[in-house]
Amino acid sequence: MSKQQSNSPVFPLGEPKTFQDTISGIEGYSSQNGILVGVSSWDKTCKAFLVNSPTQTQIVGSVNCNSPLTSICKFCKFCESQFLVGSLNGGVYLWNVQQNSLQQVGQFNDCITSMKPFPETNSIVISSLDGSLGLLDLNSGNISKMPVNNKIICMDAKYPYITFHTPNKVEVFNIQSGKLMTDTLIGGQQSTVNSSVQCIAVFPDRKGIVYGGADGRANVLHFENKSNQYTYAFKAQHKKISTTQTYYYPVNSISFYNETIFLTAGSDGVINIWDKNKKSLVNTLTSPIQNCPITTADFICENKFLAYSVGYDWHQGVEGLLQQQVSVPVIKVVDDPLVRL
């Protein structure tokens, strides 16, 4: 079956030089005036864009930090103009777009790798390379920390589960019981990984996880059904160079549209949209800049929009950096052809 072409509007944000380094995250709020999109970058800035249409986008806020910014999430779904951002030096900041202010609300001992909302407990889960998980209580502003005793490379959270990657292992923590559930839900053998995991996501129905690695593969792990129909791995980001040679590229992002449809995005400059139950490719988007990696991709604003960024992701080291490399955030309206077989 041939894929339908998605012709929905695309909104490039800013100019090619609006950001001076790799974009680390994009989040957004829907409002009556359009969508407010927050973008964090390794150039130590956060910038906010108000998007009304493909021809009506404007920067409505910009703040500077003293350290590169590594992650971003919505502060709460009712705030509409506040984001939480994490930094390379372990700082956690509340960014108020209306007030154009950046206020530090927490500190870890190393880089913040992920931040995910836990609306059920009015809190935000934070992971760090210092080997700890943090829970920011939005009522009190306090952060409680749980030591993991190893660097947390990436993390996702959907109540009551927090799943994260430490070197050579994928873990699942149940916040209700306060216990690691890895062996029970995944199994010791399947939780051990041989490739660095770049990104991870909990199923929307909380029945499993998907993670993507530097080897270009995505791994689907179902908590309840370990058969090959439900628990499997596949080649997510790759290019066939010849009949005998295939290049594999790191999977940089995973995001779910609904319980069965999710995306993987990678260093090959491609966003692939998959149906995990049918094990089928639904659609493909390529980078608007030829051969430029997708550094982050996510469904935002109740999955009405696909937000992604193009730029250098350092998978080829300093040698792969081009002098004219640009970092551009992009918003695309999600339409049926994009996410339907």
**Calculated CA dihedral for residues 13, 17, 22, 24, nearest 10 degrees:** -30
User: pLDDT means per 10 residues in the chain (341 residues)?
Assistant: 78 89 94 92 96 88 97 85 97 96 97 96 96 95 93 97 95 93 84 89 97 95 90 92 88 97 95 96 90 92 95 57 71 94 78
pTM, entire model: 0.93
Q: State residue 4's pLDDT score.
A: 76
Q: State residue 76's pLDDT score.
A: 79
Pick from 106, 85, 80: which is nearest to 95 by CA? 85
Q: State residue 322's pLDDT score.
A: 55
Pick from 248, 249, 265: which is nearest to 257 by CA? 265
Pick from 121, 55, 156, 135: which is nearest to 92 by CA? 135
Answer for the pair 92, 111: CB distance below 8 angstroms, yes or no.
no
Cα 132 versus chain centre, distance: 19
The ranges assigned to domains in the chain are 10-339
Answer for the pair 95, 80: CB distance below 8 angstroms, yes or no.
no
Assess if CATH 3.90.1300.10 describes domain 10-339.
no
The count of other CB atoms within 10 Å of the CB of residue 293 is: 28
Q: State residue 318's pLDDT score.
A: 46
Question: CA geometry: angle at 285 spanning 243 and 242, to 5°?
Answer: 10
